[in-house]
Amino acid sequence: MSKITKQQNGVLSVPDVPTIPFITGDGVGAEITPAMQAIVDAAVDMSYGGARRIEWKEVLAGERAFRATGSWLPDETMEVFKEYLIGIKGPLTTPVGGGIRSLNVALRQTLDLYVCLRPVRWFRGVVTPVKEPEKVDMYIFRENTEDIYAGIEWQQGTPEARKFLKFLTEEMGVTKVRFPETSSFGVKPVSVEGTERLVRAAIEFALSNRLPSVTLVHKGNIMKFTEGGFKLWGYALAEREFPDKTFTWPQYEKIKKEKGEDAAATALLDAEAAGKVVIKDVIADAFLQNTLLVPEEYSVIATLNLNGDYVSDQLAAMVGGIGIAPGANINYDSGYAIFEATHGTAPNIAGKNVVNPCSLLLSSVMMLEYMGWNEVGRLITAALEHAFSEGKATRDLARFMQNGQPLGTKEFGEYVMSIL
């Protein structure tokens, strides 16, 4: 089995026949994963004429793992992902009760996959709730290890909650807990290092893909030291590590204060003309409004975990829904990456041959691009857009299309393969 490795210069070394671990997933995973693999295999073969192919290696997690091994996330699965660097997964059931809070979170934390990358774009033919969906073209870099994903909280009425309340009131002098005896508590850690590595990845992505801006989305007007810190540390990182490649909003404001607004505007235009990435920020609630009003003003988004959850789902809705929203969890330093369907297991439709496989399929496109197999990704993307423009899609999308022709999961996959 051939492994993808990361070289000392940071570039991935991808063999012609790489082994890719995959988790089929629970619920609808049993339908979307085979559909994704069949399309990817066909597109790879068509792109490289048999010179390259993927060797799929199944590993277990979720309900299937629990039934087979008694563990929701076997150690072997984690070891395989560590060994082979890149993998892909279907949706997983989160066990009810104690133990692992979320299998997805456990995977991300174990491999320190600090970026949740969610690209959002519109496909011609897909009906959306906005008038100009073609203006939505963004890449969301959502921090994946801190903020609410740290999972630090204590339930109301427990000894731990009472102990924490005592610490807050007696040691820290906190007096603003409105109903202290019935409150649950949570802690929101946001670090300089966590912020810097996320913003660094976002800026490097923008530079590599010649994208115009990185926007820091935050709630620093209320949470001064966590969300506000994220904004300040992000700007500082850009000015320190990318001084010749970025133009930050604090620099704009400094020029404006010293030389006037016209001089600042000229400096901004000069920076854009020179191909510099503009680093700006916006309050999270204003950003959600602006994405509806002026989505064309945003390109790469860097944000903390909770904000990123809201942002990525709203943007997905603006281009047709989570059924065509791909996602990846990446550590750009180690090279570890797991690509995934962004929706859940959908047990209500599992086994009915109606689920949309496009979230996982587009996540596989992200995986192929991450590997440098861009020709394959372009082939799959073009085939999907062709299918949608003809009204051919699974029911969730086809029912809104003017000439929609609903296809089953299997039939849609076969049609996409026929037009590669």
Q: Tell me the per-residue pLDDT of 157-203, one tens digit each, with 9 for 90 and over.
A: 999 999 999 999 999 999 999 999 999 999 999 999 999 999 999 99
One domain, residues 268 and 135? yes
Residue 226 lies in a domain: yes
Q: Can you tell me the distance from the alpha carbon of 103 to that of 74, in angstroms, rounded to the nearest whole number?
A: 11
Residue 297 lies in a domain: yes
| Cα angle value 96/110/164 (rounded, 5°) | 65
One domain, residues 337 and 354? yes
Q: Can you tell me the distance from the alpha carbon of 209 to that of 203, in angstroms, rounded to the nearest whole number?
A: 10
Residue 179 lies in a domain: no
Residue 153 lies in a domain: no
Helix (H) and strand (E) counts in the chain: 15, 17
Q: DSSP 3-state helix, strand, coil percentages of the chain (rounded to 5)?
A: 45, 15, 35
One domain, residues 334 and 264? no
**Residue 310 CA neighbour count, 13 Å, CB half:** 15
3 state SS of 294: coil
Percent of the chain beyond pLDDT 90? 93
Instruction: Quote the number of domains for the chain.
Output: 2
Residue 227: give the domain boundaries.
129-146+190-318
One domain, residues 8 and 116? yes
Asked if residue 98 has pLDDT above 60, the reply is: no
Domain boundary among 318, 350, 373: 318
Percent of the chain beyond pLDDT 70? 98
Whole-number pLDDT of residue 97:
59
What is the pTM for the complete model shown? 0.95
Q: How confident is the model at residue 318 (pLDDT cuts 50, 70, 90)?
A: very high
> Is the alpha carbon torsion for 290, 126, 383, 28 positive or negative?
positive
H, E, C per residue of 26-45: CCCHHHHHHHHHHHHHHHHH
Q: How confident is the model at residue 100 (pLDDT cuts 50, 70, 90)?
A: low
One domain, residues 199 and 300? yes
Whole-number pLDDT of residue 99:
56
Residue 163 lies in a domain: no
Contacts of 282 (CB under 8 A, 6+ apart): 215, 216, 217, 218, 290
Q: What is the residue-wise DSSP string for 35-79?
A: HHHHHHHHHHHHHHTTS---EEEE---THHHHHHHS-SS-HHHHH
Residues known to be catalytic: 149, 219, 285, 309
One domain, residues 327 and 313? no
Residue 341 lies in a domain: yes
Domain boundary among 267, 291, 318: 318
Whole-number pLDDT of residue 57:
98
Whole-number pLDDT of residue 52:
97
Whole-number pLDDT of residue 298:
98
One domain, residues 263 and 399? no
Task: List beta partners, residue 187.
Answer: 152
User: The domain that contains 209 carries what CATH number?
Assistant: 3.40.718.10
| Cα angle value 200/202/206 (rounded, 5°) | 115
- E strands along 133-284, which residues? 137-143, 152-154, 185-187, 213-218, 246-248, 277-283
One domain, residues 133 and 255? yes
Mean pLDDT of the chain: 95
One domain, residues 250 and 142? yes
One domain, residues 44 and 97? yes
Whole-number pLDDT of residue 151:
84
Q: Which amino acid is at 405?
A: Q
Rg over CA atoms, the chain? 23
- E strands along 284-415, which residues? 300-303, 326-330, 337-341, 392-393, 405-406
Q: How confident is the model at residue 149 (pLDDT cuts 50, 70, 90)?
A: confident
Token pair 């829904």 is found at 321
Q: How far is CA 52 from CA 36, 85, 367, 373, in A?
A: 17, 18, 15, 10
One domain, residues 26 and 56? yes
One domain, residues 381 and 309? no
Whole-number pLDDT of residue 356:
97
Domain boundary among 264, 297, 318: 318
Residue 180 lies in a domain: no
Structure token pair of residue 7: 């070289």
What integer is the mean pLDDT of 366-384?
97
- E strands along 96-203, which residues? 115-121, 137-143, 152-154, 185-187
| Alpha carbon 338 to its chain's center | 10
Residue 167 lies in a domain: no
Q: How confident is the model at residue 102 (pLDDT cuts 50, 70, 90)?
A: confident
